[in-house]
Amino acid sequence: MIKKPLLQLQVFKMNKGILEQLDTCYSCRCGKCLDSCPVYDVLRFESVSPRGKVKTIYSYLQGEIKDSQEFMEYLAYCTLCGACEVTCGVNNLVPGPKVSVKDIVNVTRGELVSKGFRYFPYEKIVSSTVKEGNPFGRPNKERNWVLNHVKQNIKAEFLFWIGCTSTFYARDSVLSTIKLFDVFGLNFTVLGSKEKCCGLPLHQLGYFHELEKIISDNIEKIKELDVDFLVSNCPGCINFIRNYYKEFQGELPFKVVHTSEYISKNLDKLNLDKLNLPSKKKLNITFHDPCHLARGLGVTEEPRMVLKNIPGVDIIETPRNKLDTWCCGGSLRLSLPHTSTTIAAKRILQIPEKVNYIVTSCPTCKINLRDGAVVATTKYGAKEIKVLDLVDLLAELYLTNNKIL
């Protein structure tokens, strides 16, 4: 049995029974998680697999592994995608609390951070988030570009939360979303430079002590707008705000909705059945389920419902889909870029031959899969394939002259 518990952090404590889960998983050692781990698939070291991490952290809790910089760096080799929890033999066969390797790794990172250990790529991300309001180190005033594209309403119904990745690296998807909302005749607003990071990167890296102020400030800014709900293209933002903010503030006074959820509930306003595809050609599409969307929010059918309502679209499922989706590697993009892009390339290689377009609903997935597609083509000889966000596809078909298809 485990002899010493992890440090009980003030903000995010380990789930009740997590030590028992860890002990059960260590005793089982079935290895059903190995085939679902994107990091293990790329590196092929047992130590970085979910089973390997459980064994290592178990030894750490036994006092057999000491606190160290090397241990901190080792823990970086996890995307926190949660795929191992879906295939876990203990979770599927043993009643009781579920094993969550991502929570175990996450809180262990937090323990080492609390003891003063640092991983340099993490330090850059955290410093940029705290100082600039985003993990990329960009001046936050650059967010104001979106104000030129939105009619600011005195009393908006909802807030369009742009998110850091979309703001700086997926502006095309932001503009697509704004155009769609305008077509819907929706009354919404944006924050511009008043919007700052939701805090998810800090939580994932174990820097829990920096979170409370970020979350409190964000909630207050949203409350000042007196909106009924917020919508975002980023499932990471939505998952974190919807499921974790209440750890600080209790139940939120506004609803939190992903764009795919909102659009699926308003399909009657889109009139998708009237779309005219170029040359009446069929679009062979696969939907890549983002980890935060599928496993974090449980949203898998909504984006498919939207796609099924587009005439001429044929959805071809990739073998790893929905709750069993394969991570794109995006959460490692700033800390382990080579591993991140290789994971994305491996995902591209899983796509069925007939597919012409990969559609997703996450800015990070879109960016990382596009990079992965280049690697898959140049290094592994895969055919070229286009990666789009769901909002990009809708805006292209509904509002433009099909330039990207």
Q: Which two tokens stand for residue 163?
A: 């998110």
pLDDT score at 5: 42
At 98, give phi and psi (nearest 5°).
-85, 145
> For residue 276, what is the domain's CATH number?
1.20.1050
**Span 142-169, mean pLDDT?**
93
Whether pLDDT at 52 is above 80: yes
Query: In angstroms, what is the C-alpha Rg of the chain?
Result: 21
pLDDT score at 247: 81
Mean pLDDT of the chain, nearest integer: 90
331 and 79 in contact (C-beta within 8 Å)? yes
The answer on 319 and 357 residing in a single domain is: yes
The answer on 314 and 250 residing in a single domain is: no
pLDDT score at 400: 63
Q: Is residue 195 part of a domain?
A: yes
Closest residue by Cα to residue 291 from 80, 34, 35, 77: 80
Whether pLDDT at 2 is above 50: no
Binning pLDDT at 50, 70 and 90, where does residue 12 land?
A: very low
The answer on 352 and 237 residing in a single domain is: no
Q: Is residue 369 part of a domain?
A: yes
Q: Is residue 306 part of a domain?
A: yes
Q: Is residue 223 part of a domain?
A: yes
Binning pLDDT at 50, 70 and 90, where does residue 195 land?
A: very high
> For residue 224, what is the domain's CATH number?
3.40.50
**Domain region containing 355:** 269-399
In sign, the C-alpha dihedral spanning 228, 143, 134, 341 is positive
The answer on 286 and 208 residing in a single domain is: no
CA distance 83 to 386: 25
Say which amino acid occupies 367.
I
The answer on 260 and 299 residing in a single domain is: no
The answer on 215 and 234 residing in a single domain is: yes
Range scoring the smallest mean pLDDT among 35-39, 56-60, 253-257: 56-60
The answer on 341 and 227 residing in a single domain is: no
Digit-coded pLDDT (tens) for 73-129:
999 999 999 999 999 988 888 777 788 899 889 989 998 998 999 999 999 999 999
Last residue of a domain, one of 64, 91, 118: 118
The answer on 296 and 256 residing in a single domain is: no
CA distance 370 to 386: 7
The answer on 135 and 261 residing in a single domain is: yes
pLDDT score at 370: 98
pLDDT score at 152: 76
Q: Is residue 359 part of a domain?
A: yes
Say which amino acid occupies 366.
K
Last residue of a domain, one of 265, 287, 320: 265
0.75 exceeded by the pTM?
yes
Structurally, the chain folds into a number of domains equal to: 3
Q: Is residue 405 part of a domain?
A: no
Residues contacting residue 269 through CB under 8 Å, at least 6 positions apart: 183, 184, 185
Q: Is residue 176 part of a domain?
A: yes
> For residue 93, what is the domain's CATH number?
1.10.1060
pLDDT score at 8: 39
Range scoring the smallest mean pLDDT among 9-23, 311-325, 370-384: 9-23
pLDDT score at 311: 85
Q: Is residue 288 part of a domain?
A: yes
The answer on 166 and 98 residing in a single domain is: no
Binning pLDDT at 50, 70 and 90, where does residue 63 land?
A: confident
Last residue of a domain, one of 118, 147, 169: 118
The answer on 273 and 395 residing in a single domain is: yes
The answer on 325 and 277 residing in a single domain is: yes
